[in-house]
Chains A and B, each alone.
Chain A
Amino acid sequence: MSELFGNYIEKNDGTESIVIVFFSKVLSFKEHWRNNSLSANFIADYWGTFFSAPGKASAGEIHDIVSFIANELLENAMKFSRTDQASTIEISLSLFENDLRFYVTNQIGQNSAKAFKTYLHHLLAQDPQEFYLAQLEDHSAQNSQAASRLGLLTLLNDYDATLGWKFETCDYPEAAIVTTMAQWPIIHEK
């Protein structure tokens, strides 16, 4: 059984794909933090091979944008993944004619899943730009360090990404599998 939020597009391979799977048994994923940036930069470097077509964003620009998006998705997965069992995080990136699609899948506890769904209902019902600035002002006024998921809002507002989420049941009843999809248009609007 699955539950979808936002503009989720089911995964398929596109024309070119890369998949990286992280497995952790002893250390929590938070202790892997440094590897987010290494992995995001590796994926961006790998992807540089495919971009030289005229009319599309430059290779350097695509590199840095791919690195930013991959890093934000990995950071979120590492931050919220369950810590009570060995688990995996998978990131895949596929190339389509006009867009790139990122998918990051991880396991989260049921309480985190419930809180995340509530947040997504809230996010999807509002203008993301206004929501972003209002959250910043609120957190600044309250001197709050709460997990504000500004990464998702940055992808929506500043990178024109389309986001979607899929929640699925897991072998462990106390956990859920969540996949976050980010679709980023390669071709610039004229």
Chain B
Amino acid sequence: MDIKGENYCLSFNFETATIVCQGQLRLQGEKGYADIIEQLDRMVDEKPGTIILDLTELRFLNSSGINVFLKFVIKVRNAKVSRLSVRGTDKFPWHTKTLKNFTRLMPDLVLEIN
């Protein structure tokens, strides 16, 4: 299923356990992210072997969004069921600056920055 807004699209594929994020995601506080959090939680609850979070086309993410994804990492880590693979790019500065915090929270997370 897709969650779309004016400048963003998030695709959740529960069969392949893949989340693809595109565009500019700058919603208002955690409440603005409620629909997205619901689907992220569902992905954790499905207990797949590996969850792929593909951020390579996500140019901007505000701190509320960073907060949402970091909490998602904590949920995956605490569930102790799924591995987590995060894909980023060095095209967008926030990927090289901020995604390192994902591995601080979950050291066995696989982070690929191309």
CB atoms of A150 and B66 under 8 A apart: yes
- Could you give, for residues 66-77 of chain A, a 1 whenever the CB lies within 8 Å of some chain B CB and a 0 otherwise? 011001100100
Closest to B92 in A: A64
In this assembly, does A190 line the interface, its C-beta being within 8 Å of a C-beta of chain B? Answer: no
Given A37-B7, A136-B70: A154 and B26 within 8 A (CB)? Answer: no
Q: A168 within 8 Å of B by Cβ?
A: no
CA distance A20 to B29 in the complex (A): 23
Chain A residue contacts of B7, Cβ below 8 A: 37
A67/B60 in contact, CB under 8 A? yes
Which residue on B lies nearest to A33, using beta carbons?
B28
Q: Are A145 and B30 touching (Cβ within 8 A)?
A: yes
Interface size on A, residues (CB 8 A): 29
Q: Interface on chain A toward B: helix, strand, loop, or mixed SS?
A: helix
Could you tell me the distance in whole angstroms from the C-beta of A105 to the nearest C-beta in chain B?
20
- Interface check A137, CB cutoff 8 A: yes
Please determine whether B29 and A147 come into contact, CB atoms closer than 8 angstroms.
Answer: yes
| Closest chain B CB from A47 CB (angstroms) | 14
Known: A145-B30, A159-B97. A64 touches B75 (CB 8 A): no
Residues of B within 8 A of A157 (CB): 101
Residue pair B60, A68 in contact (C-beta under 8 Å): yes
B98 contacts chain A at the CB level, 8 A cutoff: yes
- Which one, A61, A64, A67, A136, contacts B67 given CB within 8 A? A136
- Nearest 3 A/B pairs, CB to CB: A151-B63, A158-B97, A145-B30
Taking Cβ atoms with an 8 Å cutoff, the residues of B that contact A are 6-7, 24, 26, 28-31, 59-60, 62-64, 66-67, 70-71, 74-75, 92-94, 97-98, 101, 104-105
* Cross-chain pairs A/B with CB under 8 angstroms, 26 sampled: A37-B7, A37-B26, A37-B60, A64-B60, A64-B92, A67-B60, A68-B60, A68-B93, A71-B60, A75-B26, A75-B62, A133-B101, A133-B104, A136-B105, A137-B74, A139-B71, A150-B64, A150-B66, A154-B63, A154-B66, A154-B98, A157-B101, A158-B97, A158-B98, A158-B101, A159-B97
